[in-house]
Amino acid sequence: MPFGRSVLFISSCLKGLIKIWGTFPVKSTYIISGNWKKGRVVLGLRNFHVTNLYELLQKSLYEHNYCRASEILEVLLQCPDCDLSRIWQPAIKVLFTLDPTSTTFIEFFNILLLKNHALSAKFILDKQRIIMELVFYQMKYGNATDALATAETYLPMEPYCNNPVLHGYTGLLAYSLWEQLNTMIKENEPKPEIYKPPKRKNSSKKHIPPREKLKRNRNDYKEEIEIPEIDEQFMDRRKRYYEMSLSNFKRSLDLDMSNDMFLIYSVKLLLHNEEIEEAITVIQNFCDNNPSVLTGHRLLFEVLHTYKSFDSKWVEVGQAYHRIDPVSPPEKVLNPLIEHYTQVIKNTIEEEREILVDAYYNICELLFQRIEHGDDNPNYLYKTIESFVWLEYFDNRQKVKVKELLQNRGEWFREYLFYTQRKVVNSLWEHQCYKILSACLSYNEPMGGKLGKLAEKVREYILAGNYFRYERAFYNFVRQSKKHNGINASRLSDLDSDNSDDNVEHYGWWEEMIGTYQTHDT
């Protein structure tokens, strides 16, 4: 092709390309990019305002301004980019304050569950928490049947079937319905008729004033409660609630063995059906997995003491429980153990010294634990002194049990640190009783002076078979010391009734006989 023609061909091609390029929407491309930038700015402003609304919502809740919080929630719920996970719990708080009705809460949770399906993965809620809150509020407002239906709907599905708390809630709901049916059965039982002797014809009648008659007649009209008939359907429903409650409690404990509330109700159900061994096994597993939780040890002791009192295992469990919780109510564990060892001592002859030593040692150990943790009952002091004297008497020459008992606390008692640092003594009798206990514990280092003589007389008094009461022993000691500074033993009752420092300063013989006296006003 000649050069001229080739140039014309290339120029024509370029002109065609320019025409084609001119048809492209170059201007619209710039417009689109501008709109995109504007949209980006709009999205940034929206997020900024939503964040400010979140902060203002928290501030309103902190200031208890629930009306303003309600308006903020209405604005946030209309925004499609609102994170429901940040506002559903504040919304519950606002509803609880402004409109605390069961229907409002249930409607709110239903709407929340429906909106949760339409949310993106970024803002999706934890559905398990919503279901548990819904069940909780249904339980709170007395809708146990509806709450049980809600829990039964979700429990067979994943991941609800592996939720121990939801299983426990279901067990509690079934347990409450089962108890309601038991109450109906008791109310439907025929009450025994009380025999009333016939009145004599000539018996005087009590004349009631007319006003009192009117008042009495007003209270006679009471609404009759309809009690359903107890038929097979009623008993089947009761059995179903029992089995559902027990199975859900077991499932909850299998998934999480740390919840003691579900353990208590599970044991109640087992004991109601007289499944004693099963109840003991469940409690023992709980104690093995949670050795520091007191509920398991207390339940195990109560079940063994009530249903297995012929077995000595309840004594070991009681000692372990009292060692963990020495300030528990004495009627729970301390008194039964003391009564047991006291009965062992009564039924044992003097030649069986090992049994007696073991019994007195355990009594002293229990009472020392009690006194060390601040129990102010003076009877524990009397019992401690008496038991320790007998333990020292029956123990062998090496005093093995006595040394074992005082291994970590002998110096502490002998130096009297318990009284001077931690103890508030209520009377002079109690003060002197602690001093006697300190003297008795110094069995290998006899104290001299009047306090040592008093301790020896206390030992003789107890070993003579007398029941130790401190007032009697102290009275004899003061009487033998005759009179000091004009103080008679008969005045001790007045001294005990008044614990003021003036009396202590007036009776200077007290410091000379006992040592430095320190007390606190009660």
Residue 498 has pLDDT above 60, yes or no: no
Instruction: Say if residues 462 and 468 touch (Cβ distance below 8 Å).
Output: yes
Between residues 197 and 301, which one has the greater pLDDT? 301
Cα separation, 375 vs 373, in Å, equals 6
Cα separation, 392 vs 225, in Å, equals 67
Cα separation, 520 vs 522, in Å, equals 6
Cα separation, 268 vs 285, in Å, equals 16
**Alpha helices in 347-415, H assignment, sequence order:** 353-372, 378-394, 400-405, 410-414
HSE value, Cβ hemisphere, 13 Å, CA-based, for 413: 24
Residue 91 has pLDDT above 60, yes or no: yes
Residue 242: pLDDT band with limits 50, 70, 90: very high
Q: Where are the domains of the chain?
A: 34-125, 341-522
Cα separation, 398 vs 378, in Å, equals 31
Which range has the worst mean pLDDT, 14-28, 66-80, 81-95, 207-221?
14-28
Percentage, residues of the chain above pLDDT 70: 57
Between residues 21 and 59, which one has the greater pLDDT? 59
Count, in order, helices (H) and strands (E) of the chain: 26, 0
Residue 32 has pLDDT above 50, yes or no: no
Q: Mean pLDDT over all residues of the chain?
A: 70
Task: Please give the structure tokens belonging to residue 388.
Answer: 């320790």
Residue 142 has pLDDT above 50, yes or no: yes
Average pLDDT on 388-416 reads: 73
Average pLDDT on 101-128 reads: 64
Q: pLDDT tens digits, residue range 345-392?
A: 989 888 888 889 899 999 988 988 887 777 767 788 788 888 888 888
Average pLDDT on 239-244 reads: 90
Which range has the worst mean pLDDT, 52-56, 77-81, 264-268, 297-301?
77-81
Q: pLDDT tens digits, residue range 145-179?
A: 888 888 888 888 887 788 888 899 899 999 998 98
Cα separation, 470 vs 433, in Å, equals 7
Which range has the worst mean pLDDT, 388-397, 424-433, 448-457, 469-478?
469-478
Indicate the SS3 state at residue 371. helix
Q: Residue 104's closest CA among 137, 135, 132, 75?
A: 137
